[in-house]
Amino acid sequence: MKIEEIREKAREMSELEKKYAEELRELATKFKHPVLQALILGIAQDSDKHSIFYRSIYELLSRTQPLLTEEELAIIKEGIRKHIETEAEMVELTEKLARESEDPRMKLIFEAIHEDEVKHHKLLILIQEKIAERETFTEKDLWDAIWKDSPWHGSPGG
C-alpha cells in the first residue's frame, strides 16, 4: 500500500471508529444493566481511542511533526516513569482479583481491565524507549547541525 493510500485509509478508519463509538454509547442508553453498560461503554472508549490513533497516523503522514525539546522529553520521561510504576502495580492487582474472583461477571471485568493494564504498561515502555527519545532535538543536535559539516568552524574563512 502506498503512503497516500495508508494516509487516506487512516482518515477513513478514524471517522468509522468515531461513528462506531457513538453508536455504542447510544446502545448503552437503551438498557439499565450496569455491568453490560460498563462493558459497552468501555468498548466505545476504545473505539474513540482507535479514532485518535488513526487520526495521528493521518497527521504523521500529512506533515512534518514537531521535535520535542529536551525539557519536554524530561517532563514526558518523568510522567511515563510514574505511570509505568502504577501500571505494574495495577497489572499485579487485577491479575490477583481476576484469579480469586468466583463470580464470572466480576472475573470477566477484572480480566478485561487486566488485559488493558498489560497493554498500557507495554505501550508506555515502548513510548519511553522508541518514540519520545527519537523525536527529541537536543542542544548537541543543534550544534552538530550548525558546525559539524561546516568548513568554517566558527571563524571567517576557516
| Per-position DSSP letters for 97-151, written without gaps between them | HHHH--SHHHHHHHHHHHHHHHHHHHHHHHIIIIIITTTB--HHHHHIIIIIT-S
pLDDT the model gives residue 133: 63
pLDDT the model gives residue 150: 58
Name the nearest CA neighbour of 81 among 148, 153, 114, 129: 129
Q: Is 89 helix (H, G, I), strand (E, B) or coil?
A: helix
- Return the CA Rg of the chain: 22
How far apart are alpha carbons 18 and 55 in whole angstroms?
10
73 within 8 A of 29, measured Cβ to Cβ: no
Name the nearest CA neighbour of 112 among 53, 46, 18, 24: 46
* Amino acid letter for position 30: K
Delimit the domains of the chain by residue range: 1-65, 67-137
Query: In this structure, is the dihedral angle defined by the CA atoms of residues 132, 133, 135 and 137, taken in order, positive or negative?
Result: positive
First to last CA, the chain: 48
pLDDT the model gives residue 158: 52
Query: Rounded to a whole number, what is the largest CA-CA distance in the chain?
Result: 80
The stretches in the chain having pLDDT less than 70 are 131-139, 141-158
